Each structure stands twice: as C-alpha cells, then as structure tokens.
Amino acid sequence: MAHLELFVFTWGLYPRRILIYLHEKGLLNSPHIKVAQVTISPTAEMIAPGKPKGTVPILALPDGTFIKQSVAILDYFEDICDNPEEDWQKDIAAVAKTSMRGRNARDRATTREILALADEATSMFGFACHKGSKLFLEMELTNPVASSMAIVRRSMKLLEPYYEGRFEGDSSEAEKVTIADCVFFSFLQFSKELYGVDLVADSELRNLRRFYDAFKERDSAKIPEDFYPRYIKELAPVWLE
Ligand SMILES: N[C@@H](CCC(=O)N[C@@H](CS)C(=O)NCC(=O)O)C(=O)O
C-alpha cells in the first residue's frame, strides 16, 4: 500500500523537479509512493481527489498532513532516506540511491547555493512569462519591461562557475546528480522546450550548456514529442512586443 501520494501534472515545471528527482533516486516505481495526476480546470485550478487547494506538487503524508512546496518535498525524501524511522521509510531508503544533497557540509552548502539560484531564476522566468507570453494574454496585464529575460540571464551567469568540471562524460558523474541539478534541469528544459527560450545558448555559458546537453540524455529527463499540451505549446513561445 502506498504511504505517500504525490500530486502532479507531468509536464509542469515544479512537479517535474520531483519526477526527475524520483527517477534519479531510483524511487519512481516505489510501491510506497503513488503519483496522482491532477486535472487543470478552466480557471487553472489543480484538482484531484484528496488534494487540498493550491499549487502542485503536493505530497500527502500518512498522518494526513501535506508538504506543499517542491523544495521541501525534495528535502523530505532526502531526510527519510538518510534517517528512516518507520518501516515503510526503511523500505524506501533500502532501494534509494545515495545522498543527492552532498557528502559533507561543504558539498551540501554548494548544492543549496545552486538550488537557491535555480529556484530564484525559475520564479523570475515565470513572472516574465506571465507578463510577456501570449499564453497569459487573456488572463493578465502584459508588460514589456517585466517580460525581459535580462534578470534571468544574470542568474545564468552566476550559476555558470558551479558547473565547472561537472558532467564531463565521466561515468562516476551519474552518482553525483544532486537535488539542485534536478531543479535546475527542469527549469532549463521547460524554458527551452515550451517557451522557446534557450537560456544556455550564450557562448560564455559553456559549463551550463554541457550540463544541459548531458542531462537531457538521461532517462529521467527524456520527453516524448507531444509532451506539452498542443494549445499551450502553440501559445507559450509567442512573445508579445
Ligand atoms: N513554489 C511552488 C510553486 C509551484 C507552482 O507554481 N506550481 C504550478 C504548476 S508548475 C501551479 O500549480 N500553478 C497553479 C497555480 O498557480 O494555481 C513550489 O515550489 O512547489
């Protein structure tokens, strides 16, 4: 019986952080984790039986409480794998890959730095989309200044040095994927594949380009041709002047 229920929609930027993570952690098919798809109402509400109001992902716990932020969900999974208490947590930990936060305080701080920068860039990108993509034209006031990608590109420059020497084709790299990599990749893929914004195209972002190109070949990251709903895929990459 599943002890945890994860509410998502597969192509969503934030839910995908968790789905990529679970795949990398070796937990995607765990009998203890049920992945429930929400339906999106015409007013953009995320609906599913048993799901409270609010954005996805949401993780329902056996004690009837919920974790409602993607970063907290990632930490929760890492915590129960690092220090399992209940039997079902021990089952999960037994099959899970090793820590994806880093092996010592220094590495864990680096993971948190990357995660904070990637999360911040994701929020700013989302805001820019709401102000400049045709997808939101009917729902929101547009604003050409607020839809500029300049601030997001600045975050990319800050992230670039963190990927020096990483994802260089060394097979041991597979064991070193972190929760921050999952968060960052989910963002880069969403911005490029859905909104047509390639944030690592700049020739100065050599490390990030290598990270993106390497990660997108991983099983956790692959997406089919028709991954995004057609009407969204048609409107999202159209940027208003
Ligand atoms: N800070 C939240 C953001 C989650 C989020 O915005 N999710 C989107 C889907 S990718 C959503 O549910 N949007 C619907 C809404 O805003 O009501 C997290 O990290 O989990």
Asked whether the bond before 224 is cis by omega within 30 degrees of 0, the reply is no
The reply to whether 204 falls in a domain is yes
The reply to whether 224 falls in a domain is yes
Residues 91 and 110 in one domain: no
Expressed in angstroms, the distance from the first to the final Cα of the chain is 52
Q: What is the pLDDT of residues 182-228, one digit of tens each?
A: 999 999 999 999 999 999 999 999 999 999 999 999 999 999 999 99
pTM: 0.96
Residues 121 and 81 in one domain: no
Distance 57 CA to ligand 1 centre (A): 7
Residues 148 and 203 in one domain: yes
Does 171 score more than 90 pLDDT? no
Nearest protein CA to atom 6 of ligand 1, as residue: 55
Q: What is the pLDDT of residues 124-154, one digit of tens each?
A: 999 999 999 999 998 889 898 899 999 999 9
Distance 140 CA to ligand 1 centre (A): 17
How far is it, in rounded angstroms, from Cα 144 to Cα 127? 12
Q: Which structural domain range is residue 32 located in?
A: 4-95
The reply to whether 24 falls in a domain is yes
The reply to whether 240 falls in a domain is no
Angle 183-95-97 (CA atoms, 0-180°, nearest 5)?
40
Largest interatomic CA distance in the chain:
56
Residues 115 and 142 in one domain: yes
Query: Mean pLDDT throughout 165-185?
Result: 85
What CATH number is associated with residue 11? 3.40.30.10
Q: What is the pLDDT of residues 10-48, one digit of tens each?
A: 999 999 999 999 999 999 999 999 999 999 988 889 999
Q: 10 Å Cβ neighbour count for 9?
A: 18
Domain final residue pick, 95, 123, 153: 95
Residue to mutate (ligand 1; options 13, 14, 232; most atoms within 8 A of CB): 14
Domain final residue pick, 67, 95, 123: 95
When divided into structural domains, the chain yields a total of 2
Domain final residue pick, 43, 70, 95: 95
High-pLDDT (> 70) share of the chain, %: 98
The listed range with the strongest mean pLDDT (34-43, 50-59, 166-175) is 50-59
Q: What is the pLDDT of residues 56-107, one digit of tens each?
A: 999 999 999 999 999 999 999 999 999 999 999 999 999 999 999 999 999 9
Residues 38 and 135 in one domain: no
Q: 10 Å Cβ neighbour count for 61?
A: 12
